[in-house]
Amino acid sequence: MKPEIKKDMTLAELLKHYPETAKVFAKYGIHCLGCFAAAFETIEQGAKAHGIDVEKFIEELKAAVKCTTKK
């Protein structure tokens, strides 16, 4: 079973389990998914560093996953 998307999940863990969320990062111009920091930076830290509302961002990540699982 895949883990729930939460703000304390690292970017690397998120992409490992939900690669379809990469398009949400691209939408916001966050291109650090493959960088060293992704291994330890959390969704919350990444969103805050880019001036993005964390809760809204997480909802968009979850919506991206739901769209692909409904197919």
pLDDT of residue 71: 47
Alpha-carbon distances of 61 from 25, 52, 55, rounded to whole Å: 9, 13, 10
CATH superfamily placement of domain 11-69: SP0561-like (1.10.3910.10)
| Residue 5 pLDDT > 70 | yes
Q: Are 38 and 12 in contact (CB under 8 A)?
A: yes
| Residue 34 pLDDT > 60 | yes
CA distance 71 to 58: 21
Confidence grade of residue 8 (pLDDT, cut at 50, 70, 90): very high
Mean pLDDT of 51-55: 95
- Side chain identity, residue 3: P
